[in-house]
């Protein structure tokens, strides 16, 4: 496996695994690092910078120049990766939305693996673990929390669509928990209301800038999301 | 004052220039900068006026209707009437505010807190042992707002009205549990079935006061 050593000393593996690594800068000048790895690393830095820029400037003031500056790449590099600012923000949103959902699914799967059929039947237990995983993820990455929870400009249809997709996906996870094993189905649309409300709450807490406030939300949010169970 | 909100609601905050605002509201550039520091400042000042009007109107709708559930439902109906009558301003108040940044966003948060505190009044009737979480008010108001934002985004305000029973289920369920939620859903469905034309036909309440 190709391994890449960064200035900060962190080992960087193949592109698939790069996403978990903090975006340190590559060494300048000739370094013999394969071009595709350099590109993958640049893209990750841009995606991370996009979330930071949204948290820092909001959608009203954000510019491609600021994203480029935060990522430590040239403007030319930015446009080699993305057509414009909105394409970059869309990629960042979709990547982070997928990471959030994977985090929740992995936490629930781990519980079932650990406790077997008991956990399978324990809807409340699985929901609690999933909500804790989501809030833990968002608290660890407050810029991502801002990116995912804030309402994007509706004029950028693709970005609004990505937000709707996230609400649908989180809603599907919640529906699975809310569904009555004896056949009764949850009311259509209820989970969308619950997820919309949860994102609004997360957005308020994330805007405050204190990650602990997001973690502290766990018992309350669990109770609120499961009130219909 | 409405000019900046209508302009931002129609084409978006980022795309709205000072010139576009002046084309709607009249006046010259120099006059604009005598009153406002920037487009953000102008938006925030207009926002403050309109969100106050809307809050007062919603609180009044709730206060003049008997019972907590009836009051909440009436306030949601009043909100939907406003959104249906003035979609561009509603888009500015609920969607573009997220893009306009501080201090409009701070006023938005203050309005959410105020409405949350009002809706939280039902706690007085709930056994303390069964009291819902502290964040319930903000959660519920956020859920109602997300429903409005969704309908505005889709450009289908009929769906907003369709969502009334489901929203009442969500609000009552968050505070009072599943049984009350089902009752609130039922009562809102009956009201909508019986009086939809009257409810959706009314409209300019907020502007007149």
Interface test with A, best of B47, B93, B99, B134 (most A CBs within 10 A): B99
Say yes or no: A33 and A138 in one domain: no
pLDDT, residue B186, reads 95
Q: Among A40, A62, A81, give the residue marking a domain's end.
A: A81
The dihedral region occupied by A34, where left means phi > 0, alpha psi between -120 and 50, and beta the remainder, is beta
pLDDT at position A104 over 90: yes
Q: In total, how many domains does chain A have?
A: 2
Say yes or no: A222 and A176 in one domain: yes
Q: In this complex, do A150 and B167 lie within 8 Å of one another by their Cβ atoms?
A: no
- Is B178 an interface residue toward A (CB < 8 Å)? yes
Say yes or no: A65 and A98 in one domain: no
Distance from the Cα of A61 to chain B's closest Cα (Å) equals 8
CATH of B44-200, one of 1.10.357, 1.10.443, 1.10.4160, 3.30.160: 1.10.357
pLDDT digit string (tens) for B36-46? 999 999 999 99
- Give contacts of A 36-65 with B, CB under 8 A: 57-61
Which of A58, A199, A220 minimises the CB distance to B101? A58
Overall average pLDDT of the A95-101 stretch: 97
Distance from the Cα of A153 to chain B's closest Cα (Å) equals 7
pLDDT, residue A16, reads 43
Q: Among A81, A104, A127, give the residue marking a domain's end.
A: A81
pTM for the complete prediction? 0.86
A94-98, A120-124, B71-75, range with the lowest pLDDT: A120-124
Say yes or no: A74 and A91 in one domain: no
pLDDT at position A27 over 80: no
Say yes or no: A63 and A106 in one domain: no
Distance from the Cα of A103 to chain B's closest Cα (Å) equals 23
Question: Percentage of chain A surpassing pLDDT 90?
Answer: 48
Distance between CA atoms of residues A162 and A149, nearest Å: 12
pLDDT, residue B101, reads 82
pLDDT, residue A148, reads 95
Distance between CA atoms of residues A110 and A129, nearest Å: 10
pLDDT at position A17 over 70: no
Interface test with A, best of B39, B146, B167, B169 (most A CBs within 10 A): B146
Q: In this complex, do B150 and A197 lie within 8 Å of one another by their Cβ atoms?
A: no
pLDDT digit string (tens) for A168-218? 999 998 888 777 666 566 676 888 899 999 999 998 887 777 778 888 899
pLDDT digit string (tens) for B55-114? 999 999 999 999 999 999 999 999 999 999 999 999 999 999 988 988 899 999 999 999
- Give contacts of A 164-203 with B, CB under 8 A: 164, 187-190, 192-194, 196-201
Say yes or no: A91 and A196 in one domain: yes
Task: Give the SS3 label for residue A58.
Answer: helix
Predicted confidence band at A1 (pLDDT cuts at 50, 70, 90)?
A: very low
A94-108, A117-131, A153-167, range with the lowest pLDDT: A117-131
Distance between CA atoms of residues B110 and B114, nearest Å: 6
Q: In this complex, do B169 and A197 lie within 8 Å of one another by their Cβ atoms?
A: no
Exposure class string for B68-82: b at 16+ Cβ within 10 A, else e: bbebbbbbbbbbbbb
pLDDT at position B115 over 90: yes
Overall average pLDDT of the A72-81 stretch: 95
Say yes or no: A77 and A113 in one domain: no
pLDDT, residue A184, reads 61
Exposure class string for A125-144: b at 16+ Cβ within 10 A, else e: bbbbbbbbbbbbbbbebbbb
Predicted confidence band at A122 (pLDDT cuts at 50, 70, 90)?
A: confident
A132-136, B100-104, B184-188, range with the lowest pLDDT: B100-104
Q: How many residue pairs bridge chain A and chain B with CB atoms within 8 Å of each other?
A: 116
Give the bridge partners for A5, in sequence order. Answer: A11
- Is B173 an interface residue toward A (CB < 8 Å)? yes
A179 in Cβ contact with A185 (< 8 Å):
yes
Domain ranges of chain B: 44-200
The boundaries of the domain holding residue A147 are 87-226
Say yes or no: A36 and A54 in one domain: yes
Q: Among A28, A59, A81, give the residue marking a domain's end.
A: A81
Look-up of token digits 């505190």: B117
Exposure class string for A16-45: b at 16+ Cβ within 10 A, else e: eebeebebeebeeeeeebeeebeebbbbbb
């Amino acid at each position: 496996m190709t391994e890449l050593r960064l200035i900060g000393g962190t080992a960087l593996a193949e592109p698939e695994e790069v996403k978990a690594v903090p975006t340190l800068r590559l060494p300048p000048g000739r370094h013999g690092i394969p071009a595709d790895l350099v590109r993958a690393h640049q893209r990750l830095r841009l995606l991370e910078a996009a979330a930071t820029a949204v948290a820092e400037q909001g959608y009203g003031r954000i510019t491609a120049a600021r994203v480029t500056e935060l990522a430590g790449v040239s403007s030319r590099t930015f446009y080699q990766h993305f057509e414009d600012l909105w394409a970059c923000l869309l990629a960042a949103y979709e990547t982070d939305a997928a990471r959030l959902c994977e985090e929740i699914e992995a936490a629930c799967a781990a519980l079932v693996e650990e406790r077997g059929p008991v956990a399978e039947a324990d809807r409340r237990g699985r929901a609690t673990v999933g909500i804790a995983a989501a809030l833990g993820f968002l608290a660890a990455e407050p810029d991502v929390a801002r990116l995912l929870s804030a309402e994007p400009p509706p004029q950028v249809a693709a970005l609004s669509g990505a937000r709707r997709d996230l609400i649908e996906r989180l809603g599907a996870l919640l529906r699975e928990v809310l569904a009555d094993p004896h056949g009764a189905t949850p009311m259509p649309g209820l989970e969308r209301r619950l997820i919309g409300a949860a994102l609004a709450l997360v957005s308020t807490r994330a805007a405050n800038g204190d990650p602990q406030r997001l973690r502290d939300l766990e018992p309350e949010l669990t109770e609120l999301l499961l009130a219909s169970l | 004052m409405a000019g900046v909100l209508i302009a931002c609601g129609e084409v978006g905050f980022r795309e709205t220039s000072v010139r576009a605002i002046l084309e709607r509201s009249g006046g010259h550039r120099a006059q604009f900068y005598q009153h406002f520091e920037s487009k953000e400042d102008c938006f925030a000042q207009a926002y403050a006026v309109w969100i106050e009007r809307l809050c007062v109107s919603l609180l009044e709708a709730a206060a003049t209707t008997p019972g907590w559930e009836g009051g909440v439902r009436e306030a949601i109906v009043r909100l939907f009437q406003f959104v249906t009558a003035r979609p561009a301003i509603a888009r500015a108040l609920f969607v573009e505010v997220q893009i306009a940044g501080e201090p409009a966003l701070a006023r938005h948060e203050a309005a959410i807190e105020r409405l949350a505190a009002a809706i939280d009044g039902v706690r007085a009737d709930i056994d303390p042992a069964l009291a819902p979480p502290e964040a319930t008010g903000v959660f519920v108001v956020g859920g109602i707002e997300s429903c409005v934002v969704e309908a505005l985004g889709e450009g289908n305000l009929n769906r907003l009205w369709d969502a009334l029973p489901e929203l009442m289920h969500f609000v009552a369920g968050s505070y009072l549990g599943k049984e009350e939620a089902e009752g609130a859903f039922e009562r809102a469905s009956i009201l909508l079935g019986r009086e939809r034309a009257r409810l959706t036909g009314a409209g300019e309440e907020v502007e007149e006061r």
